[in-house]
Structures are given as C-alpha cells and as structure tokens.
Amino acid sequence: MENMKAFVVEKIEDKKFTTSVKEIEKPVLAERQVLIKTSYSSLNYKDALSAMGNPGVTRVFPHVTGIDVSGIVAESRSDAFHPGDEVFMTGYDLGMNTNGGHSEFVTVPEAWLIKKPNNISLRELMIYGTAGLTAALSINELLNNGITSGEVLVTGATGGVGSISVAILSKLGFDVIALSGKEQQVGYLKTLGAQEVILRKEFDVENKRPMGKERFAGVVDTVGGNILAEALKQVKYDGVVTCCGLVASISLNTNVFPFILRGVRLIGIDSVEASLDKKTQAWEKITNEFKIDILNELVNEISLDEIQQAYQKILQAKAVGRYLVKL
C-alpha cells in the first residue's frame, strides 16, 4: 500500500484526543468514487471542532479533518470525472465522519464533486471554500427576497463567512455595517468595504426592549445568540435576516414583534446538505457577479504542520479572515 501525509485526529481515551501530521495509507477507490490529488483545502470552525473530537461533528476516529478540498483527479471510477480534471467540493460528510481534505489525497463520491469553473483557480476556490459558499447562499436569500439596497449588518465580520460577506455586499453596492469584537481589525474591515464598524461591546448588551429603532434592510448573521436577537429588533419593515452560525450561542432569546409587526423574515442557511444544484448556482455567482478582487487581503496561507496552531486561534475567536491550507 502507498502512504500519504495527512493531519490526523486520534482518540486516546474517552473525551481525550491528540492531533499530528503523519503518514497514513492512501485511500482505495470504491465504485462511483473519485481520488483527488489535493492542491488546497481550508480551515473552518467545524474543522476545529472536529479536531477537538466534538461528537456533534465527528464520531469516527482516527480521522482526517478538512471539509473543503480542491485538486486534480488522480484516479476515477466515475463516468462523470476523469484523470486530470480540476475539481472541488465543500460540505456533505467530508471532514466530518469521512476523511477530509487535510491530506495529500482524498476519496469522495462523484455526487459530491463539482468541476472547476473556467474563470477561477483551485486556490481561489479554497479561499472561498465553505465560508464563501455560505456567504453566497446568505446574500442570495437577501436578493431573492427583495433586499437590493440599503444598510446590511454583517455580524462576526472578521471571520471567514463575515469577511467574504462584507466584501461581496460592498461590491454589490450595499452600505455594509460590520459588527466585530476585534477593535484592532477596524481597518481590515474597512479595507474589505465596510462603511461603518460597530464593536460587539456596544451591541451585545442586555436590552429588555422588545423592539429597537428600524435601521437595517438586511442582516447576515454568523454568530447567533444575543447578537442575533438584538439585530432582529433593528431590522426595517419587510427586512430579511439570515442565520448560519453559533459561535456566540446556540440559543436565541427573542420575541415575535419583529416578525408580526414589521414582517421581518429569518432564514436559516445550511451549506453542508444544500443540493448540488443550489451549490452550483451559488458557485456560479461567486465566479461572476459575487467575485471579489481583494481575496488576498483576507487569506492566511499555511501548511499541514501549521493547522493545529490555526485551530487554536479559531477556537479562541482570534482568527481573522480565511486560512488556506496548501498541500
């Protein structure tokens, strides 16, 4: 058997895990599977949880993290893909209970794969990754529900989804209001296109008022919890709020007034099990009208050996932008 390098999470005992870059067996193809020679992957919050052994993400160990991957088909038992094809994928079970993209080779079912569009590179695809797809799905919901101008609040704005959302919304002509707990990153957020930055300490406060002054035409929320609850109170009549994250809290303590008095719509965003058709449409927008010119402003390129350190920053809410893993 051939070996390959991979970032591996191993279970030592109950609730105790260790991670390392090590040599493991190169995967063998099953019917209707494709073997990808990895070019790039990325890091996401879910990857960091998987590396900790979070049972809500991963229950199969030893395990290779990485919910995103781009690369070149090395072998194929699929009629749809052939050696030499440039491909990528995000979501599904990759990097959860199926070995992920933080390895030199990765095997995936043909139904998960998308061929690389012509006007974007494998590297750029992974700078976007799951975060970019989630941002695009969120912004699509705003547009499809009639939000085409005005102020849009982006919470968790220095994170992967937040950073890309700020940049795309700015390109589309929205007045982007970025919310972040990182005061030292105000300049970074304005570089991405934020017109104003609200600090979390000024927004995430105990507020017993059921409603606030109408301000935002839309909200892209990436954090949940009290920040989402407060944002809902400030959305204009017929406004739209998308929700895709939980780093602040999984709980939402709110009331029905924004929904029944202002017609506010709260839309959940899931990029993992979204249909391949929905994902493909979102990627088409990313490579066209949503494509941003400042990708390099929000990327930190790292190797397999630097993944664990990056995970610590993600879990401690110290990460800014996107982590790109080059294989």
3-class SS string, the chain: CCEEEEEEEEEEECCEEEEEEEEEECCCCCCCEEEEEEEEEEECHHHHHHHCCCCCCCCCCCEECCCEEEEEEEEECCCCCCCCCEEEEECCCECCCECCCCECEEEEEHHHCEECCCCCCHHHHHHHHHHHHHHHHHHHHHHHCCCCCCEEEECCCCCHHHHHHHHHHHHCCCEEEEEECCHHHHHHHHHHCCCEEEEHHHHCCCCCCCCCCCCEEEEEECCEHHHHHHHHHCEEEEEEEEECCCCCECCCCCCCHHHHHCCCEEEECCCCCCCHHHHHHHHHHHCCCCCCCCHHHHEEEECHHHHHHHHHHHHCCCCCCEEEEEC
Query: In the chain, where does the domain assigned CATH 3.40.50.720 lie?
Result: 130-268
**Domain 3-116+295-326 superfamily per CATH:** Medium-chain alcohol dehydrogenases, catalytic domain (3.90.180.10)
Closest residue by Cα to residue 12 from 43, 52, 44: 52
What is residue 204's predicted lDDT score, i.e. its pLDDT?
Answer: 81
Which residues of the chain, if any, have pLDDT below 70?
Answer: none
Query: In the chain, where does the domain assigned CATH 3.90.180.10 lie?
Result: 3-116+295-326
pTM: 0.92
Q: Which two tokens stand for residue 13?
A: 């005992």
Cβ atoms within 10 Å, residue 123: 15
- Whether domain 130-268 has CATH 3.40.390.10: no
What is residue 26's predicted lDDT score, i.e. its pLDDT?
Answer: 94
Q: Which two tokens stand for residue 80?
A: 């749809």
228-254 pLDDT, tens digit per residue, is 999 999 999 999 999 999 988 999 999
Confirm if 122 and 36 have CB atoms less than 8 A apart. no
